[in-house]
Copies of this chain bind each other. A is one copy, B any other.
Amino acid sequence: MPRPPTMADLAAHVGVSRQLVSLVLRDAPGASDETRRRVREAARELGFSPHVAARSLRRARSKDLGVIFAPAHSTEPEIVEAIYPAAAERGYDVMLSAQTATRSTDQAVEELLGHRCAALIVIGSDLKHTGLRAVAERSLVPVVDVGYGRRNQFYDVVRSSGDRGIEELVDYLAELGHRQITYVDPASMPPGPLRRRGYERAVKRLELAGDIVSMPGDYTEGNYFEEVGAAAARTLLERRELPTAVVAPNDHAAVGLLHTLIRNGVRIPDDVSVAGFDDALIARLSSVDLTSVRQDPGLMGVSAVEAAVRRVEGQEMRPRETVVETSLVVRSSTAAPRKRG
């Protein structure tokens, strides 16, 4: 298997010096139109592709944004998708590194640092503040946390306004006429406290009774949240009277709750309105059709790139916090409360 052609090969093929080939391929001034044409043609003919390792070795500063993400998570792929065009627009390449069950965030960080990325974007990491701070201090490079972090002086934070999202959701339910709105709180969910604050603010402002069903247990991915929702539903069913609306800060929990209520003869939304958070795929299933709060993953990706580039290019070295607005998605799982006899 022959090795891929280098600039020297192109130069020999065309009959010029290697430096001139470099000039042409970099679109730098100093070559005649005719030469440019011939070099480009040779590049196409020989199937040349620049050796990025050599290039980034020579270049002092790199033009790569390192992105750490967990393929198993559901919303992160959309963020990753948005990062590519946003980075390209600003002249940066993207280098992905996955964090999986068998591959820690630290390993992913180490790989990206090995590639001398200009900045690290960490999406939905399992790292807490101290972990991220350690990464930021070790890497000597701007770090952007996309997820649930809070403003700090070590790394940038991009998060969605979960509190305002929940607040808006409760407002909407109240406008429909609901006065008894229960909130299911999966205690250990990372973005939990923030979203709960939104509920508490709305309850206070609207002068509602307020009712929080707190569900303990460790945070894990996947179907766990469905169980949390089902358990919360059972708790509610044991009461003398159901609330007219239930909010869960997670779609999977809301779906578990919804189905458990239905199976126990509760009609949705006639008897009880149910709403979730995330606008996950299951919320959009026609059989579920769950009112939810949508985070804008595209905007989060773009914001992350903006934050990284801002600090890489030294315009503003202090880490910031970027809050991306959420939006309410009303579906058929919520409606005005029925008048109760």
Contact = CB atoms under 8 A, between A and B. Distances in A.
B52 A114 contact: yes
Contacts of A85: 102-103
A113 interface: yes
A282 B282 contact: yes
A53 B116 contact: yes
Given A51-B114, A71-B71, 17 more contacts: A4-B113, A4-B116, A49-B113, A51-B116, A52-B114, A53-B54, A53-B56, A71-B76, A71-B77, A71-B80, A71-B81, A72-B77, A96-B97, A96-B98, A230-B286, A258-B287, A287-B287
A224 to B, nearest CB: 12
Contacts of A71: 71, 76-78, 80-81
23 contacts: A4-B116, A47-B140, A49-B110, A51-B57, A51-B116, A53-B53, A53-B54, A71-B80, A81-B100, A84-B98, A84-B100, A84-B102, A96-B97, A96-B98, A222-B281, A223-B284, A255-B287, A256-B286, A259-B287, A262-B287, A281-B281, A282-B285, A287-B287
Given A72-B78, A72-B81, A101-B81, A1 B140 contact: yes
Contact of A140 (B4, B57, B103, B286): B4
Instruction: State the number of copies, please.
Output: 2
Contacts of A116: 4, 51, 53
Sorting the interface of chain A by its residue count into under 10, 10 to 19, 20 to 34 or 35 or more gives: 35 or more
A139 B17 CA distance: 25
A65 to B, nearest CB: 13
A2 interface: yes
A340 interface: no
Given A56-B53, A80-B71, A287-B259, A47 B114 contact: no
